[in-house]
């Protein structure tokens, strides 16, 4: 009887998606020079460490030319650096800089301010539950969606 579960989970995720878009992507565009795509790239680099251009594309399911555009902009800002791979000179590895890390964290803080205000209205128990639940969703999705 796992079939119905899967459909319910998919339905839940589809419902959650616009809520995150509204409360994260939109404030982000309003309050920072980094685009949502740029933040996705920075997040991947922070979580996984140095990645090649191809890795980034696979990781976010992003067309390679788009990765180039985004990384170009991140380099302009000094948030990441290109590094040649000594093992394979075709490969270019992207590294998060100290400045990139610091700004990433700050942008996250700024762009989630209004979200946090709304979270602050929840009571202790709801916060506990939401923390546990969001943690679980994050962990499981990361494991099944990061593969290959």
Provide the binding-site residues for DNA, judged by CB under 7 A: 25-26, 29-30, 35-38, 52-55, 62-72, 82, 85, 88-93
DSSP H helices, 21-96, are: 26-31, 36-48, 53-60, 64-76
Smallest distance from DNA to CB 5, Å? 28
**Rounded Cα distance, 142 and 18, in Å:** 19
Q: Which helix (H) or strand (E) holds 80?
A: strand 80-84
Which of a copy of itself, DNA, none lies near 24, with the C-beta cut-off 5 to 8 A by kind?
a copy of itself
Residues pairing with 8 in the sheet? none
Give residues in contact with a copy of itself (CB under 8 A).
2, 5-26, 36, 39-40, 43-44, 47, 60-61, 108, 112, 115-116, 118-122, 124, 126-138, 140-142, 144-145, 147
């Amino acid at each position: 009887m796992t079939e119905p579960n899967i459909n319910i989970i998919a339905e839940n995720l589809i419902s959650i998606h616009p809520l995150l878009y509204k409360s994260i992507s939109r404030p982000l565009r309003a309050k920072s020079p980094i685009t949502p795509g740029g933040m996705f790239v920075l997040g991947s680099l922070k979580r996984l460490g140095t990645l090649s251009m191809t890795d980034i594309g696979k990781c976010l399911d992003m067309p390679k030319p788009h990765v180039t555009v985004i990384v170009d902009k991140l380099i302009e800002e000094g948030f990441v650096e290109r590094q040649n791979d000594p093992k394979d000179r075709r490969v270019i590895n992207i590294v998060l800089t100290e400045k990139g890390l610091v700004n990433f964290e700050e942008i996250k803080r700024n762009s989630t301010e209004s979200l946090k205000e709304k979270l602050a209205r929840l009571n202790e128990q709801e916060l506990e539950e939401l923390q546990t639940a969001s943690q679980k969703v994050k962990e499981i999705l990361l494991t099944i969606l990061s593969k290959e």
